[in-house]
Amino acid sequence: MKKYNKITPEGTRDLLFEECLVRRHVEKTLTDVFSARGFNEVVTPGLEFYDVFDPEFSGIGQEVMYKMSDKRGRLVVMRPDSTLPIARLVATRLQNLPKPIRLFYTQPIYRNNTALTGRSDETVQTGIEMLGAQGMRVDLEVIVTAVEALNRCVPNFRFELGHAGFFRALAEQLPISEDQREDIRQAIESKNYAALNTILDGLAPSRQVTAMRSLPRLFGGEEVFDRAASFCLDEKSANTLTYLHDLYRALIQFGLGDKIIVDLGLVQRNDYYTNIVFSAYVEECGDAVLLGGRYDELLKRFDTPMPAIGFAINVDAISKILLGSGKAEKVLPADVLVHGETGFEIQALQYASELVQKGLKCENSIFEERSKALEYAKICGIKRVDCIGNTMESIAIAQDGENYEAT
């Protein structure tokens, strides 16, 4: 039987040194933004019951979830999404808090990407959820928080703004099944014009079909609203477009004119989005580094109806971008290696603790012989060795030559 004890499962990987440093830097940078705006951290279990992510309303296919059973035979999954567990948490433990409830999280999600194509099955996300409030002020605050968070890490991003309700309003006017609606949604999301036309060619010609055919091309600046106005064939679609236009103008006033794009073809798979949706892209990454939107109906599924909005940022993707740019923090050697001569091991440890309290990065020598400690320091790039014995001797290590130099 073949053993897999020296490799990681497909879609996962180990992180080393600089990768860990940059991930922690990104996490701290983002969470500092969130906490400064009054959001409080929560952590949900890595294991949840399958019912929390019921595909009928979550939009997360069961084939995507890592599934197993607990000791009672109940179906559980490794968390594939953070918004749904937070909705469960709010509905069961936080429902009596004053509204709005401001939460943030930093935790991994697990999704089985069957095709992989370079995607990871384990992805660390950090994001916010604001629950119990709706309206323009709330939507603006959440989007501005997203923009500020990205600006702190990768300021060269592109922000896309859409409305889930616009697609739904058009789809409701077409004589199609739920499966056909999903096929259309996938074609629009991927801007696969050939697949979209093949589906729509099977329907009788109508203004609604023409509108749906045009949806993936409705992206750009403010001119998109004029182009889309002719496709508003009912009050619902007209209202969604008006609200989105007002939000867009407010964001332009905030100073996002060079970053924001309107995309009415922005129709993510998550079926719980009901209103505005948004995403952000960075040139160095093919997938969105941020996804979010409003999900006003989701809390009803947990018997605690309230409006809500949030977003998630892909920490791993941003970390990879920073590593590739050369801007990530480097792993530096210790400032000092402390070597205790035989019989002075405890004194050496005490001395090392004193150096750490002074702010130095200090490593303790585990070698019996001084020569081996000096050689180790040279190999590791440690420029100073403090030897503790009857007296303390500080030795500067000449990194480029072969000589040791006492000071």
In the numeric block, the tokens 């019989």 are attached to 343
pLDDT band at 407 (very low <50, low <70, confident <90, very high): very low
Mean pLDDT of the chain: 90
pLDDT in tens, 277-296: 999 999 888 889 999 999 99
pLDDT in tens, 31-65: 999 999 999 999 999 999 999 998 888 878 889 99
Does 120 have pLDDT greater than 70? yes
Per the annotation, binding residues for L-histidine are: 81-83, 111, 125, 129, 272-273
Calpha distance 395→406 (Å, rounded):
4
Least-confidence region, from 15-19, 205-209, 292-296:
205-209
Q: What is the DSSP letter of 388?
A: E
Does 311 have pLDDT greater than 60? yes
- Both tokens of residue 94? 């936080």
Amino acid, res. 109: I
Omega cis (within 30) before 175? no
- For 1-155+283-331, the fitting CATH number among 3.30.450.20, 3.10.310.30, 3.30.930.10, 3.90.950.10 is 3.30.930.10
Q: For the chain, give every residue range classified as CATH 3.30.930.10.
A: 1-155+283-331, 157-280
Q: For the chain, give every residue range classified as CATH 3.40.50.800.
A: 336-406
Instruction: Give the residue-averaged pLDDT of 231-258.
Output: 90
Model pTM score: 0.89
pLDDT value, residue 178: 80
pLDDT value, residue 193: 83
Which neighbouring-strand residues pair with 280? 159, 290
**For the domain bounded by 336-406, which CATH number is listed?**
3.40.50.800
Does 383 have pLDDT greater than 50? yes
Calpha distance 39→29 (Å, rounded):
14
pLDDT value, residue 115: 63
Instruction: Give the residue-averaged pLDDT of 290-306.
Output: 94
pLDDT band at 270 (very low <50, low <70, confident <90, very high): low
pLDDT in tens, 150-191: 999 999 999 999 998 888 888 888 888 888 888 888 888 777
Neighbours of 316 (CB within 10 A): 21
pLDDT in tens, 324-379: 887 777 889 999 999 999 999 999 999 999 999 999 999 999 999 999 999 999 99
Q: What is the bridge-based pairing of β-strands 290-294 and 308-314? A: antiparallel
- Both tokens of residue 90? 């709010």
Instruction: Give the residue-averaged pLDDT of 264-268.
Output: 79
Per the annotation, binding residues are: 81-83, 111, 125, 129, 272-273
If one compares 335 and 215, the residue with the highest pLDDT of the two is 335
- Side-chain-side CA neighbours of 269 within 13 Å: the count stands at 13
pLDDT band at 406 (very low <50, low <70, confident <90, very high): very low
Calpha distance 199→181 (Å, rounded):
10
pLDDT value, residue 295: 93
- For 157-280, the fitting CATH number among 3.30.930.10, 3.60.130.10, 3.40.50.261, 3.40.190.290 is 3.30.930.10
| Percent of the chain residues topping a pLDDT of 70 | 96
